[in-house]
Amino acid sequence: MKPPAFPFKRDEAGRMIADEAAIGDAVHLGNHVAIYPRVRIGDRSVIMDGAVLGRVPLSNSTVTRPITSAFSDLIVGNDSIIGCNAVLYTGCTLGRQVMVGDLSSIREGCTIGDGAVIGRGVMMLYDSALGRFSRIQDQAHLVGNMVIEEHVFIGMGVITTNDNEVYLSRFGIAPAKLRGPTIRKFAVIGAGATLLPNIEIGVGALVGAGAVVTKDVPPWTVVAGSPARHVKNIPDDWRRSIERHFGL
């Protein structure tokens, strides 16, 4: 499959900007930025060197997940920062004051809430949601069809998965049932943890570094190990402090 051709304007700094792109007031565009059609960038945002905005997804005949061309605009909210060589696909919506680190990639159909921070080298796959003020540390891998609520912290190198049927579905023998984890608000996922498909991490739960989580984690509990097991509950005073802070 060939990428679609769009009319671009190339300037003296090597920036390639599609005629149809909408760029707000006081936006900074770094050198060698590529901005495709159907991209809207909010006021005062910073797009750093080499970033690609509005990339169209492509696939070949061996990919079992179908790719559609019917995507909406890529929207980058006001006062956001997109790092060097980051790639944002079409059909994504980023809220206000979002930060996306260098070399990160956000696939089509994702939504990212206000004030969220995505570290360097993070991969966020298709049709996933990241809530307001959540923080994703460097080199985490967030699968497609995943939900992360607000005020979640995900440590460095966390791996998430979304396919329990891959043994047969990769050949088309069985249908793919792609469903990533759900991480509820206030949860913390320690560095290097692995979350298996279609599990839920409860509100305020804490997953220890390097844990392999194979089943749901109840709210306000701590799990660790491989496979992850209950260690203790979050102290009551910690829970009350968080609830007071957010007026719950």
pLDDT per position as a tens digit, 202-227? 999 999 999 999 999 999 999 999 99
Residue with tokens 């069985």: 174
- Containing structural domain, residue 128: 8-245
**Assigned domain for 148 exists:** yes
**For the whole prediction, is pTM greater than 0.85?**
yes
Strand-pairing partners, residue 18, are 8
**Assigned domain for 201 exists:** yes
pLDDT per position as a tens digit, 77-126? 999 999 999 999 999 999 999 999 999 999 999 999 999 999 999 999 99
Domains: count for the chain: 1
Alpha helices in the chain (DSSP H): 166-169, 236-245
Q: Which residues of 111-148 are buried (b: 16+ CB within 10 A; e: fewer)?
A: bbbbbbbbbbbbbbbbbbbbbbbbbbbbbbbbbbbbbb
**Assigned domain for 229 exists:** yes
| Terminal-residue alpha carbon distance, the chain | 51
pLDDT per position as a tens digit, 175-193? 878 899 999 999 999 999 9
10 pLDDT band, cuts 50/70/90, is confident
- Residue 13 pLDDT: 85
**Assigned domain for 207 exists:** yes
Residue 123: give its domain's CATH number: 2.160.10.10
**Assigned domain for 1 exists:** no
pLDDT per position as a tens digit, 141-152? 999 999 999 999
Residue with tokens 């919506």: 93
**Assigned domain for 3 exists:** no
pLDDT of 235 above 90: yes
